[in-house]
Structure 1
Amino acid sequence: EALFKDLPADAASAHPAWLYKAITRAWPEQANAVFEANNTHPPMCLRVNQQQHSRDAYLAKLSAADIDATTCQYAPMGLRLSSPCGVEALPEFFAGAVSVQDEAAQLCTRLLELQPGQRVLDACAAPGGKSGAILETEPALQELVALDIDEGRLERVADNLQRLDLRAHYQVADAADPQAWWDSQAFDRILLDAPCSATGVLRRNPDIRLHRRASDIPELVSLQRRILDAMWQCLAPGGILVYATCSVLPEENEQQIADFLQRHDDAHSAALDVAWGIDRKVGRQLLPSNEGADGFFYAKLVKAAATGH
């Protein structure tokens, strides 16, 4: 109980006891700020489609429409609105000029080091925000495969990419069972936005506080482990796998990756040369903040190049 004596009453009432303890144990210095951020309204952020507009050009369009916005600190195509609005008010939204996406989720594209001609897999792709960001960043990919286990959710990916006038190959399948769908053609880049506790986005999904249980975490960790190991089989030698979650719990993040590295001697975790987040032994952790991004974790795994004989 002494751990929580400084927590504000509203934070105490809004978080399950198990989650209090988990966050305070993991982030003793930042816990109160995390709880406070979780009790605020999240900012509405946009990702400008760089195939249509520069960020400054779209910012000018927003200004002309009397919509106040500022540039995001870390996402190069990100804008943060001063007040949320309906997408119908956003200039050229239905023509694909912009998407609604938190700044943290936009950060995957730089980590992937995308290049023309690459074959890229977006595993657990729904609802498609990161697929769109990938294709906007590098339109000359050989192929983007958007994979999701849920056919209905994958249809949302297709709808989102259609609005953006982007193309992908859609695959309904279980990422943890590549033998059931993979054609044995290795991917140069894989983005694994893994199923997780979503403890970094409580302010966007308050129902999580009611439905998430402590017993869910080991099950999620086991699922993440299975998907990670399966995706590693699909990655080309020399390729990059970016692991992401919207969790703030180390078991799903840095501990998950440390355990993965123990199992795979052909993998190493690349240092992330970025200005955002908190550096961990492997990967970087963003914590939710009142004015900033959602809680998110990223790690960049590089597969050893094939050796000649």
Structure 2
Amino acid sequence: MNVFILNRIKLETSHYPLRKTREYTIGIYSSLDKTYKALQAYVVDDSYKLWEKKYTMGFIVRETKLDDKLAWGISIHTYTKTGEPNDELFIADEEYPDWDKPFYGRPKEKIRFKPGDIVEVYQGNESELSIICHTTLSTEEFEEYKAWWEKRGVLPENGTRFDSTDDCYLTYSIGIGDTHNHPGAAYIFAPTRKVPAKLRFQLQAKLIEENYTSGHDLQISELPFAKDPKILDEVLNIWEKVVETKDYNEMRCLTIREKGDWIKAELNFSEKQSQRFDRIYEECIRLVNEKRENKTSKPN
């Protein structure tokens, strides 16, 4: 028998970019329909509207089997703090609950976000402000993969090499170095409060920076903020901190294949910003070469 556990996601702290959360169980039900009806009754209750709504991020429903050892359950359904459907994730196959469910991509209308969107990623005991880099796989993209597998004779009997863990986005959070995450689609929410301009600039700059540092294929010209001088200043701030911290991996990725001129050609740097970039880039190359020389000069 399957049961559906309805939890409220309470905000324990209120300030972005990272907010502590805690889950409180509202009820356990025998069907998703009954769970949804209970949720609708909950969000219109006077007590919720007066005291709890302000401190609620959203709601999460976990479907699981009774007497089942599977930790992640069968499916996840999330809802906004007003009780509206947010997203869903189908984790395991009903017939084979210990296996990850095959994934064949999502219809485009079910992909809620696009690169450059700022979101909140729910991670169990906290929620972190992040920016979308890549979306989950669409059904059209899946068909391209399928044709590639068929051509090479590696297409499994179930028709896919993807499973439920691939129904996820690629996101970045604020920070120096690799801050990427692969949250499942159901764990991503639109921001529940206004995002301060400073944090928005930092996230947008992080996305641009990682596009070049980590080698993503974003169409920079399609990002409406990519030519904003304030954002570009923040991109340079990030790279300066990479140099200060001597983050070898970040510097190596930035300078690999001598792509400095390409970066300058893509970004609308002012003359002053371009000069600043040149200094950063040259220092990155110097430090990377120094690191390599130290490695090769060490005795065996």
TM-score (norm 2): 0.23
Query: Greater RCO between the two (CA within 8 Å, min separation 6)?
Result: 1
TM-score (norm 1): 0.22
Q: Looking at CA atoms only, which structure, 1 or 2, has the larger radius of gyration?
A: 2
Higher helix share: 2
